[in-house]
Amino acid sequence: MEKEGIKEKIGFYLLVVIAFIILAFPFYWIVVTSVKLPKEIVSSVTLIPRSISLASYYQVFKQQPFHIYIKNSFIVAGLTTIFCLLVGSLAAYALARLKFRGRDLILSLVLTVSMFPPIAIVSPLFLIMKKFHLLNTYPSLIFPYTTFSLPLTIWILTSFFKELPFELEEAAKVDGCTPLEALVKVIIPLAAPGVFTCAILVFISAWNEFLFALVFITNNYMRTVPVGITLYPGQFEMPWGTVFAAATIVTLPIIIIVFIFQRRIISGLTAGAVKG
Amino acid sequence: MASEEKLAYWLTIPALLVIFLIAFFPIFQAIWLSFHKIQLQFPQLGTPFVGLGNYQELFKEPRFWNAIKNTFVFASCTVILEFIFGLILALLLNKSFMGRGILRTALLIPWAFTTVVSALMWQFIYNDQFGILNSILMKLHIIKQPIIWLGTTKLAMISAIIADVWKTTPFMALLLLAGLQVIPREMYEAALIDGASAWQTFLRVTLPLLKPTILVALLFRTLDAVRVFDLIFVLTQGGPGNSTEVLSYLTYIKLFREFDFGVGSALSVITFLCIMGISMFFIKILGARTT
């Protein structure tokens, strides 16, 4: 009986360790590859680098205007987050705390949008952007990103706003606040953790977007990171060190943010799904 | 009361406006485009109405049916594997053990990866000369010759599936874990008192109570798998020989490599209809469950 218990325990921990290695190893692998000498990368597979070099990091900025990609990504993802929270929190407030006809209809419209495949609207949007001379501009990305992140924003914020006690607005009303003032002065500050969670998730999804960034932006100086990172491969050889140095630069900050706010992120990601 | 309703409408108008202008309006426009012949490089040809011509053209093309098949194979395999691995991870994490927090944190690593970076990383892992996958398999004497993962038609699809499973299983695991955590403890205690084995408890208690969460997770993942683009674009470019060309990738080729906006839009509409069909299917089962 006891022996079996030990066997089970070993099996259990073996499973945990294998799972951990599969999940975490690739991150280690890109960081390690980025500091190896290019010679070492293509000669043999070494788990621990024989020598450490930052040459690949130098190449990242030398071969492409990578700092400009980063700047563009920050502007696009940042503005998307701001717009999304502005528009989304207004709608979420109405959906969570006001009684009105058509509430369910609006919720189902929002849900429908979350299922839209971006590839299905890329052709008309391309023609519209072209017509209004918006190709190769930030708005050509900010508009679609905001649209595709709105369902998640509205979903998360509605569930957070719902949890606050309803006496809050009544108290605010007694103090002479209009409902809009109550939203800005009372509800949003109290729902700050939810708003913040939402901001992280929207920012990351905008930061990672690829399809729209690929087709709406052709000017190299307007490109965002995900597309920029695919431009390093040469005609005949793949500069792995450079590619993974660039990958490390963009992945490391996201991983750190995710680790710091992991509880919030997990609660945000699962907010809609479990409650239905 | 009336003023509250008015305020509610004003508050939701900006969101609705964005959604209508940038999601619903373009869908209708895509449908309109799909009924016309539109060659972007030859604007002098105009945009003649061709009815269902673009669709007929697609249905005759083996390449279209190949993309449908690939999308189906990719989506069904990834979702099934993600569900199995996701459930195992969720069940592991639902127990309390030393190192649980670390494993849960590690779960967020693949999720935090940009798909493009994850695709590049897998390309490197699969590399036939200095990729670590072949190196490990050869050291373990499982294979004698390096395997050309991305260069052969059968293995390329399997490679793409593995890469996607790595990236998205954590999301599945997190959803299922959240679902597991709301199952009341008394349910398990009752099963224990009734003398149920661990396997019986899993089949009779855990699975039925987890069913709504499972369906939602499967819905999300299926929709994402059907519209896969970034991974294929970077990892295989649809190759070798169209063996990994999925619906989204073929649409991209028609639209932005061949500039055929008529046929491309028809493909967009087909993708859209597939997605909506899948959603309806899942929502119907979900609705039947909850009411």
Mind giving me the DSSP string for chain B?
Answer: -HHHHHHHHHHHHHHHHHHIIIIIHHHHHHHHHHTB--BTT-GGG---B-TTHHHHHHHH-HHHHHHHHHHHHHHHHHHHHHHHHHHHHHHHHTS--TTHHHHHHHHHHHHHS-HHHHHHHHHHHH-TTT-HHHHHHHHTTS-SS---TTTSHHHHHHHHHHHHHHHHHHHHHHHHHHHHHTS-HHHHHHHHHTT--HHHHIIIIIHHHHHHHHHHHHHHHHHHHHT--HHHHHHTTT-STTTT--HHHHHHHHHHTS-BHHHHHHHHHHHHHHHHHHHHHHHHHHHHHH-
Q: Is residue B194 part of a domain?
A: yes
* Helix-helix angle A2-35:A55-63, to 10 degrees: 60
Cβ B10 vs Cβ A93: under 8 Å: no
Q: Quick one: pLDDT at residue B74? A: 97
Q: Is A123–B264 a contact, with Cβ atoms under 8 angstroms apart?
A: yes
**What is the extent of the structural domain holding A6?**
2-43
Name every residue whose Cβ is closer than 8 Å to that of residue B159 and which is 6 or more positions away in sequence. B122, B126, B149, B150, B235, B236
Instruction: Give the mean model confidence (pLDDT) for residues B154-180.
Output: 94
CA distance A28 to A273: 31
Residue A136 inside a domain? The answer is yes
Domain assignment present for residue B121? The answer is: yes
How far apart are alpha carbons A165 and A171 in whole angstroms? 11
Residue A243's closest CA among A68, A34, A21?
A: A34
Q: Is residue A246 part of a domain?
A: no
Residue A56 lies in a domain: no
Q: What is the pLDDT of residue A73?
A: 95
Same domain, yes or no, for A121 and A179? Answer: yes
Q: Give the per-residue pLDDT at A203.
A: 94
Question: Phi first, then psi: what are they for B39, rounded to 5°?
Answer: -105, 110
B265 touches chain A (CB under 8 A): yes
> What's the average model confidence in pLDDT over B198-206?
86
Distance, CA of B167 to CA of B115 (rounded, Å): 8
For residue B291, the model assigns a pLDDT of: 45
Structure confidence at residue B174 (pLDDT): 92
**Tokens describing residue A89:** 């929190």
Note the pLDDT of residue B222.
94
CA dist B8 to A106, A111, A159, B22, Å? 11, 19, 17, 22
Q: Express each pLDDT in B111-130 by its tens digit.
A: 999 999 999 999 999 988 88
Q: Residue B49 pairs with which residues in a beta bridge?
A: B36
Average pLDDT of B226-241?
92
Considering the domain architecture, whether residues A18 and A123 belong to the same structural domain is answered as: no
B39 - beta bridge partners?
Answer: B260
Q: At what angle do helices A139-163 and A262-275 cross, to 10 degrees?
A: 80
- Least CB-CB distance to A123: which of B121, B182, B268? B268
Residue A76 is predicted with a pLDDT of: 97
pLDDT of residue B45: 78
Is A27 a member of any domain? yes
**What CA–CA distance (Å, rounded) separates B145 from B213?**
44
Q: Are residues A218 and A267 in the same domain?
A: yes
Which has the closest alpha carbon to B245: B57, B76, B74, B56? B74
Residue A150 to residue A110: CA distance in whole angstroms = 8
| Tens-digit pLDDT profile for residues B53-65 | 899 999 999 999 9
Within 10 A of A143 (CB to CB), how many other CB atoms are there?
Answer: 21
* Residue closest to A234 by CA, chosen among A88, A38, A47: A38
| CATH classification of the domain holding A162 | 1.10.3720.10
B261 touches chain A (CB under 8 A): yes
**Residue B252 CB neighbours (<10 A):** 23
Chain A environment of B33 (Cβ under 8 Å): 123-124, 127
CATH of the domain at B101: 1.10.3720.10
Residue A223's φ and ψ, nearest 5 degrees, are -70, 155
The answer to whether the Cβ–Cβ distance between A117 and B7 falls below 8 Å is: no
- pLDDT at residue A3 in the model: 57
Q: Which residues of A touch B108 (CB under 8 A)?
A: 255, 258-259, 262, 265-266
pLDDT of residue B159: 95
Domain that holds residue B45: 33-290
Query: What does the alpha-carbon distance between residue B201 and residue B182 come to, in Å, rounded to a whole number?
Result: 16
Task: Examine the domain organization and report whether A209 and A271 are in the same domain.
Answer: yes
Surface of B (116-155) touching A: CB under 8 A: 116-118, 120-121, 123-125, 129-132, 135
- Residue reference for tokens 């169209």: B242
- Please count the structural domains in chain B: 1
Q: Specify whether A9 is located in the same domain as A85.
A: no
Q: What percent of chain A has pLDDT over 70?
A: 96
Rounded mean pLDDT of B159-185?
Answer: 92
Quick check: B109 and A24 CB within 8 A? Answer: yes
Q: What is the pLDDT of residue A179?
A: 75
Which pLDDT score is estimated for B122?
A: 94
Q: Does B180 touch chain A (CB under 8 A)?
A: no
Quick check: is B6 in a domain? no
For A216, the closest chain B residue by CA position comes to: B256
Task: Looking at the structure, tell me whether residues A73 and A196 fall in a common domain.
Answer: yes
Q: In terms of pLDDT, which residue wins out, A67 or B201?
A: A67
Query: The complex's ipTM?
Result: 0.91
B-chain residue closest to A106, CA distance: B16
Asked if residue B11 belongs to a domain, the reply is no
Contact between A99 and B1 using a beta-carbon 8 Å cutoff: yes
Q: Which residues in chain A show pLDDT less than 70? A: 1-4, 235, 272-276
Task: List phi, psi (to 5°) of B114.
Answer: -65, 140
Instruction: Return the pLDDT at A99.
Output: 84
Measure B124 CA to nearest chain A CA, in Å.
8
Q: Please tell me the total count of domains within chain A.
A: 2
Q: What is the pLDDT of residue A273?
A: 59
CA distance A188 to A186: 6
Q: Which chain A residue is nearest to residue B216, measuring alpha carbons? A: A273
Number of other CB atoms surrounding residue A107 within 10 Å = 16
Contacts B281 to A, Cβ<8 Å? none
The reply to whether residue A100 touches residue B251, judged by beta carbons under 8 angstroms, is no
pLDDT of B90 higher than 90: yes
